[in-house]
């Protein structure tokens, strides 16, 4: 069935490719819509720009949360569960698509979608940076054009029927979620489920970082949030130490120490990570900083330095045995 419909929106045409079931869903603020989408250029080849199926994860948007591409909410309102439809949208509706796609691609790559942005609106960021980091999106940004969206609607969930993702929460909801996530992480640590605990700590940090992005650095609001971030990052790093992800620990502790130069616990965890990857000099320097900053940790530092010395001596002996035969002349038969 391929009938073309004109929605009551200028510059939009709809073609149903596969009919859905039931009535049109009644959307309200907070409803979650789950769907797959494909974005194509309106050219002869119908060039594919994005396809959520390639990432293997359906797209989700929350009604009323000011999703940057407002036309998508309008399109989805016209669909039934299970329906597949093709929408042609004029350039008046697609001008922000490059920025929206940039964020979705960064999330699929495991990166922060707000990485590198200043505290400004999306359009302001676009003019600040000139490039999205993706050549095809830069072209769309320079020359807005009509786009084709093929969407498959899976389900619509009422606000009370699902667990809210942290990015969809209000400021108050995020602040309330942080101590809950912190406690869940601690509970998982006691059960030695370090991977799951790390995820809880990381989710809490993301909540706080999103709130920090709206504050001026080093002012009272920012500092208050930073005081909540620091112990969560340290807990995350402890989990990574337990999991053997030492370079992950080096990265996060170093970033933390750039802002908090006197944090003895951060130096201690970084020292243990250095020791684990055989960076003897760096490990000793960090352990000695710990003892200087926090004399109560002197006994722990002494124990770690002793273990480090023993490990390094053992390694040197093994290295000599391994390489001593390399420089001896071969025996004659």
Look at residues 179, 222, 239 and name the one whose alpha carbon lies nearest to residue 204.
179
CA distance 35 to 155: 7
Domain spans of the chain, in order of start: 4-157, 171-320
CA distance 24 to 21: 9
Query: CA distances (Å), 320 to each of 276, 279, 307, in order?
Result: 20, 18, 20
- What are the mean pLDDT values of the chain's consecutive 10-residue runs (333 residues total)? 70 92 84 93 94 87 77 92 95 91 81 52 45 87 93 86 66 86 94 94 91 90 94 96 95 94 96 93 95 94 92 83 65 63
Query: Could you give the C-alpha distances from 79 to 99, 150, 224, in angstroms and in order?
Result: 25, 12, 44
The reported pLDDT for the residue numbered 70 is: 87
Q: Which CATH number does 4-157 carry?
A: 3.10.50.40
pLDDT of residue 165: 65
Instruction: Give me the pLDDT at residue 9, please.
Output: 87
- pLDDT of 168 reads 64
User: Tokens 């489920």 sit at which residue?
Assistant: 193
CATH architecture of the domain covering 171-320: Alpha Horseshoe (1.25)
pLDDT at residue number 111: 65
pTM for this prediction: 0.53
Cβ atoms of 309 and 278 closer than 8 Å? no
| Predicted local distance difference test score (pLDDT) of residue 128 | 43
């Amino acid at each position: 069935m391929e009938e073309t419909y004109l929605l009551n929106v200028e510059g939009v045409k709809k073609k149903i490719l596969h009919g859905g079931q039931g009535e049109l869903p009644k959307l309200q603020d907070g409803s979650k819509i789950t769907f797959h989408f494909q974005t194509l250029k309106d050219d002869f080849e119908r060039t594919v720009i994005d396809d959520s199926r390639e990432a293997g994860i359906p797209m989700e948007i929350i009604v009323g949360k000011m999703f940057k591409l407002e036309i998508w909410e309008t399109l989805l309102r016209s669909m039934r569960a299970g329906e597949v439809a093709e929408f042609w949208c004029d350039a008046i509706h697609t001008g922000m698509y490059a920025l929206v796609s940039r964020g979705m691609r960064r999330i699929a790559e495991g990166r922060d979608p707000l990485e590198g942005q200043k505290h400004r609106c999306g359009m302001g960021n676009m003019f600040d940076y000139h490039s999205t980091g993706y050549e095809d999106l830069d072209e769309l940004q320079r020359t807005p054009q009509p786009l084709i969206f093929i969407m498959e609607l899976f389900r619509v969930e009422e606000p009370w029927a699902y667990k809210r993702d942290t990015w969809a929460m209000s400021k108050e909801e995020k602040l309330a979620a942080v101590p809950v996530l912190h406690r869940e992480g601690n509970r998982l640590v006691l059960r030695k489920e370090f991977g799951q605990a790390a995820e809880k700590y990381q989710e809490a940090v993301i909540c706080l970082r999103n709130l920090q992005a709206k504050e001026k650095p080093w002012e009272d609001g920012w500092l208050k949030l930073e005081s909540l971030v620091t112990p969560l990052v340290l807990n995350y790093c402890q989990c990574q130490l337990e999991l053997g992800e030492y370079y992950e620990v080096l990265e996060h502790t170093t970033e933390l120490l750039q802002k908090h130069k006197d944090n003895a616990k951060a130096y201690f965890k970084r020292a243990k990570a250095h020791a684990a990857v055989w960076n003897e000099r760096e490990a000793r320097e960090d352990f000695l900083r710990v003892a200087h900053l926090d004399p109560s940790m002197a006994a722990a530092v002494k124990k770690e330095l002793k273990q480090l010395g023993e490990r390094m001596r053992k390694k040197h002996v093994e290295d000599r045995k391994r390489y001593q035969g390399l420089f001896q002349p071969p025996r004659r038969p």
